[in-house]
Amino acid sequence: MSRAVLSIGSNLGDRLAHLRGVVEALGERVCAVSPVYTTAPWGGVDQDDYLNAVVLAEDPAFDDYAWLRFGQDLEQAAGRVREVRWGARTLDVDVVSCTDASGAAIVRDSDPALILPHPQANNRAFVLVPWLDVEPSAVLNDVLIADLLAGLDPAERAGVVRTDLVLRDESARPC
């Protein structure tokens, strides 16, 4: 069994529908879904703003690579094209972190296809803010998410703006 923190985002097409599609595809695996945020693009490429959220999910049959494949399959189904690094996308599903059945963090640093925890998550307010919403005691690399977020530039934090949009009406099951 593994538990994953997934960061989802979209800035092309029906952004909200793309994010909702992830939550729907996860189905009963969903433990928690953050509010939806609007954020400026990250990485210096000129493009429209993103909608972002974090989903906590759990599946006894999934390992970390299964979460990666699951996210890539959803991206492909949404018409994701990888032409420009940090460029516009219909859907982005990042595996931010995973824990195994014992609750231990899975660490991968030698496989370029999957590095865990996500190597830039600690620098991205658009990941940390929604993650903090759904898991206030979460840690990344042995540091509380709240402390990582406090260490970011105030402008970076202020650029993550909560919306009234929701991805799921019913309550998720507790993890």
Residue-level pLDDT at 153: 94
Tell me: pLDDT of 85 over 70. Answer: no
Give the start-to-end residue ranges of the domains of the chain: 2-162
Taking only the tens place, the pLDDT of each residue in 128-138 is 999 999 999 99
Taking only the tens place, the pLDDT of each residue in 150-167 is 999 999 999 999 999 999
pLDDT band, very low/low/confident/very high, at 87 (cuts 50, 70, 90): low
Taking only the tens place, the pLDDT of each residue in 6-38 is 999 999 899 999 999 999 999 999 999 999 999
Cβ contacts of 49 within 8 Å, gap of 6 or more: 11, 38, 39, 40, 41
Q: What is the mean pLDDT of residues 44-68?
A: 90
Q: What is the mean pLDDT of residues 84-105?
A: 83
Tell me: pLDDT of 172 over 70. Answer: no
Tell me: pLDDT of 58 over 70. Answer: yes
Q: What is the mean pLDDT of residues 44-64?
A: 89
Tell me: pLDDT of 142 over 70. Answer: yes
Pick from 15-19, 79-83, 119-123: least confident? 79-83
Report the alpha-carbon distance of residue 137 to residue 77 in Å, rounded: 33
Report the alpha-carbon distance of residue 76 to residue 67 in Å, rounded: 14
Tell me: pLDDT of 77 over 70. Answer: yes
Residue-level pLDDT at 116: 77
Given this structure, which CATH class describes domain 2-162? Answer: alpha beta
Give the mean pLDDT of the chain: 88
